Amino acid sequence: MNGKIDLKDKTSRVDYDLHEKLFKKRIWNLEDLSLFTGFSIKTIQNRISEERKKKTRSKQGNYLPYTKRCGRLFFSPDDILNWIEEGE
């Protein structure tokens, strides 16, 4: 995995009604993030796993922002938008 996620292809298939519904939620789970980005749940899990192995969360950089509670991953829609806007 090269650590880069290309969003150019993903944005051409945007479902705006779905995104509007998603942004009414304050916290997303893996399924919500997958629906928003178009990436599979496994791809998201792999990205987080790679970041944890490399400990890139501890460095200043563009890591995928998430919170883990009771073994589940949660995402803030605002943090995800900032992450996308920052790019890599």
Q: Which domain holds residue 20?
A: 15-86
Number of domains in the chain: 1
The pair of three-digit structure tokens given for residue 67, joined into one six-digit string: 């919170």
CATH at residue 52 = 1.10.10
11 pLDDT more than 80: no
Structural domain includes residue 8 = no
The gap between the terminal CA atoms of the chain, to the nearest Å, is 14
Structural domain includes residue 6 = no
Q: pLDDT band at residue 23, thresholds of 50, 70 and 90?
A: confident
Structural domain includes residue 4 = no
This prediction has a pTM of 0.69
For residue 75, what are the β-bridge partners? 28
